[in-house]
Amino acid sequence: MIVLDYLISIIWLSPFLYIFVLGIGKLVNKTRKSALLEHKGRVDKKVDKIIFQIPTIGNVKSVNKIFETVKSYALPVPLETWVIIEDWDVHKTEYVCDKIVVVPKDFVCEDLYKSRALEYARRLRQSLVDENKMELNYLLLQGDDDAVPSLEFIKECITVQADIIIGTITPKVQSVWSTILDYERCVACGIFCNFFTNLGMPLWAHGEGTAMSSQVDRNVSYDISFFTHNTKHKLILNEDSFYFHKAAIMGYSIFNSEERIFILPPLSFKDAVTQRRRWLWGQISILKLKMLPLPNRLRLSFIGFSGLWLFSIGTIGLPLYYLHIVNIPAVLLPLTFISLGVWLVTRAYTIGVCMGWKHALAGTAVSYLTVGLNFVTHVIGLFKGDPKKFEVIRKE
């Protein structure tokens, strides 16, 4: 049991690592931002216009509201709004945007569902540029039909000379349930995304708020054959994470912005399970089908799933300790209590910088509930199995 003793001890002391990662991430973010404001990335990201695209399945009301909000921003360059829909969408005439992209029924690529739609729109822009029907130097702002990029995020995407940028997820306040559940996303963004992304080693990505240069858009596809010959499979889930990793591997500079992307949390427990199941099995598929190189897969498997195994072993450790089944070294016991305080402080800070001090206090108070609920939704999603399709959740 000595190995288990020390394993549980290490897990209980992990908040000290969290606060270190948080601090270094903040420092690296500030340093890289200053450097990227002064120097060019791999390409000179001159921006003649912004193309803001949203793929959707009939969420007309939410898409139109997002476009209206972003169009109201005082942006220094022209904004062009695109909506990407399937051929069977019956709301084609209801979207208020500059361009409606309809994915043809017969379009075939190495992707399915949302990634297929994104790949079609990407190839369409390629052809428009090649035919001199569209400017070459555009900034592609990729969004979802439940997310609103902040003005500050878009401005930073224009000025920071990185090839691809993700924003920091900030849940909108809906109900007590949905807000409590998604406090965890503030923590994940503030600690892990900020650290790993700005070190050039992406972990997760957010389809809700990603910006990329036209050179990235033209040269990086959603095709999986770049890394694997197992092309009988197609990219179905976690297309944003796959794309972000692929761009980084191809040498494009990446940056994690601390500016906010406002998202709508799941509106029910069922929707939360659907969403977390999609994320979980998307990562499992990337690992199983070897869609990315080994270092990237190891990072995803060890850190991407760390919340699940840390919660499992750390929680089991408590009754094991009081039943005297495991023995935590006496010298470490005081540190475990301090680490609890450190854990709560890091959660308060990461939630607070996104949502304000009231939510910092609320989020800290419900920390165990937030982490427990997220664990439960992931476990249910795991046991429900691979959805093998892109499941959507209610947006409005």
The residues spanned by each domain of the chain are: 40-270
Taking a C-beta distance cutoff of 8 angstroms, is the pair 286, 292 a contact?
Answer: yes
CATH number given to 40-270: 3.90.550.10
Handedness of CA 179, 312, 364, 349 (dihedral sign): negative
Q: SS3 of 270, please?
A: helix
CA angle 110, 111, 112 (to 5 degrees): 140
Q: pLDDT tens track of the chain, all 396 residues? A: 677 787 888 889 999 999 999 999 999 888 888 877 755 444 445 789 999 999 998 889 999 999 999 999 999 999 999 999 999 999 999 999 999 999 999 999 999 999 999 999 999 999 999 999 998 899 999 999 999 999 999 999 998 889 999 999 999 887 787 788 899 999 999 999 889 999 889 988 888 889 999 999 999 999 998 888 766 789 999 999 999 999 999 999 999 999 999 998 888 889 999 999 999 999 999 999 899 999 999 999 988 888 888 888 888 888 888 888 888 888 888 898 899 999 999 999 999 999 999 999 999 999 999 999 999 999 999 999 999 888 887 766
Q: Tell me whether residue 70 is exposed, middle or buried, using C-beta atoms within 10 angstroms of its C-beta: 0 to 12, 13 to 18, 19 or more.
A: buried
User: What pLDDT does residue 215 have?
Assistant: 94
Find all residues with CB under 8 Å of 366, minimum gap 6, and list them: 180, 183
What pLDDT score was predicted for residue 217?
A: 96
Q: Which of these, 167, 111, 32, lies nearest to 285 by C-alpha position?
A: 111
Rounded Cα–Cα distance for residues 103 and 144 (Å): 17
Q: Give me the helix-helix angle, 176-188 and 357-365, nearest 10°.
A: 100
- At 385, is the secondary structure helix, strand, or coil? coil
Task: Select from 257, 261, 220, 262 the least CA-distant residue to 37.
Answer: 257
How is residue 116 annotated by DSSP? H
* pLDDT computed for residue 395 by the predictor: 64
**Distance of alpha carbon 224 from alpha carbon 292, whole angstroms:** 8
- pLDDT value at position 43? 43
d(CA 122, CA 102): 12
